[in-house]
Amino acid sequence: MKSRRDFIKKLSVGAGILPMTFSFAPYQKHQYISDIQDGPVLKVAIMGLGSYGNRVAEAMKDCKRAKVTGVISGTPSKIKDWQAKYNIPDKNCYNYENFDAIKNNPDIDAVYIITPNALHHGQCLRVAAAGKHVICEKPMSINAKEGKEMVDACKKAGVHLLIGYRMHFEANTLEVIRLRNAGEFGTVKFFQGLSGFKIGDPNQWRLNKELAGGGAMMDIGIYSINGARYMVGEEPIWVTAQEVKTDPIKFKEGVDETITFQLGFPSGVVASCLSTYAFSYLDKFFLVGEKGFAEMQPSTGYGPIKSWTHKGRLDLPHVTHQTTQMDQMAAIIFDGKKPIVPVDGEEGLKDMKIIDAIFQAVKSGDKVALKL
């Protein structure tokens, strides 16, 4: 089974909004993968040893400030494999029943939760109660209520709650944000976000409402939700949405196949987005203003990200996203670093409020007000 994010293999020739051709001149390369200051190394236990857990662990081999020191899994054979691969001692290995004991383990500073969505809430609360920092994959929960409880629990415990928004540290993404803030595009008018792939195995957890909390929107649509917010640079104030389901057997009640949704922003900007499990080659952001545009395709895949504006190519050098993410998260936890785009629990909670509103809009057919 392919990873939920490993779906971009080639670009779709016909996906562009504007049928334009350009003679691209390269931009000056701005360095967004900033030098990591020397300091303490974040000792991380990975919870959930599936495909993405493996991807994160492999990327962390190149980290300067983060290291895999523990594992939490319900599969003993996986634990043995990880122990051999990452030199993890028995005392740093836990299962889902006994991992509260990390409280007394100085070899673990943080737990990266990479399990099915519906498990995040309870696992986060337990990690926080053990006094360890929480890094949680997105979506942070299956609804805003649970997300808020996670934020509150981590605040009460005095630990960080960070969400796995790897794109918030990606160089092309940050360059587009810089250009927008500098007025390069003029007044922003419109954003389009396309996020989708054709999902395979009908028996996987991503198509199980009890584990996933939904379907494509939770898994891949969240990229366009989050992307709309950081690309436009505002928080939306309303949403409308429409659902299409062509295979009700594969996509059962409560598991969305395809949803188109629209976000309205205070300045009058409208975002038009698509989330789907029905077809592939959808990984594109397009931002346009009065003076220019920025386009990214792929925009959120594992990379390299391809990007350009009305003035030419960007395509800043690719660094493995999870490597940068974990180093930067160590700097957030230990050094108090403030990222350009937040990755804290409040950021994740905003996306959950929008997802709740999208589902409400699909059901009611009405425009739903947002208060983030």
Looking at per-residue confidence, does 19 or 189 come out higher?
Answer: 189
6 within domain boundaries? no
For residues 352 and 91, what is the distance between their CA atoms, to the nearest angstrom?
36
pLDDT bracket for residue 162 (50, 70, 90): very high
Active-site residue list: 138, 223
78 and 109 together in one domain: yes
Q: 364 CB contacts (<8 Å, ≥6 apart)?
A: none
pLDDT reported for residue 30: 47
21 and 70 together in one domain: no
Q: Is the pLDDT of residue 187 over 50?
A: yes
Radius of gyration (C-alpha) of the chain in whole angstroms: 20
Nearest to 136 by CA among 106, 102, 156, 159: 159
What mean pLDDT do residues 49-57 have? 98
Domain boundary pick from 121, 147, 163: 163
Phi and psi, residue 79, nearest 5° = -60, -45
Q: 309 CB contacts (<8 Å, ≥6 apart)?
A: 27, 176, 179, 184, 185, 292, 293, 294, 295
pLDDT reported for residue 37: 82
69 and 21 together in one domain: no
What mean pLDDT do residues 338-350 have? 98
232 and 153 together in one domain: no
146 and 291 together in one domain: no
pLDDT reported for residue 25: 40
Percentage of residues in the chain having pLDDT higher than 90: 90
149 and 174 together in one domain: no
Domain boundary pick from 132, 148, 163: 163
17 and 80 together in one domain: no
76 and 178 together in one domain: no
Which CATH number does the domain housing residue 118 bear?
Answer: 3.40.50.720
137 and 180 together in one domain: no
Which CATH number does the domain housing residue 216 bear?
Answer: 3.30.360.10
334 within domain boundaries? no
CA-CA-CA-CA torsion sign (235, 216, 192, 245): negative
Question: Which of these ranges, 28-32, 293-297, 300-304, 342-346, has the smallest mean pLDDT?
Answer: 28-32
Residue with tokens 């919870």: 47
Domain boundary pick from 143, 163, 183: 163
For residues 32 and 58, what is the distance between their CA atoms, to the nearest angstrom?
22
pTM exceeds 0.75: yes
pLDDT bracket for residue 13 (50, 70, 90): very low
Domain extent, residue 203, equals 13-30+166-316+345-369
325 within domain boundaries? no
262 within domain boundaries? yes
Give counts: helices (H), strands (E), the chain. 10, 15
Nearest to 231 by CA among 170, 279, 282: 170
pLDDT reported for residue 368: 98
pLDDT bracket for residue 33 (50, 70, 90): low
50 and 155 together in one domain: yes
Contact 270, 168 (CB under 8 A): no
Contact 272, 262 (CB under 8 A): yes
Q: How many domains does the chain have?
A: 2
Helix (H) or strand (E) holding 222, with range, is helix 222-232
331 within domain boundaries? no
121 and 198 together in one domain: no
330 within domain boundaries? no
pLDDT reported for residue 22: 40
339 within domain boundaries? no
310 within domain boundaries? yes
125 and 74 together in one domain: yes
pLDDT reported for residue 1: 39
Nearest to 225 by CA among 212, 239, 211: 239
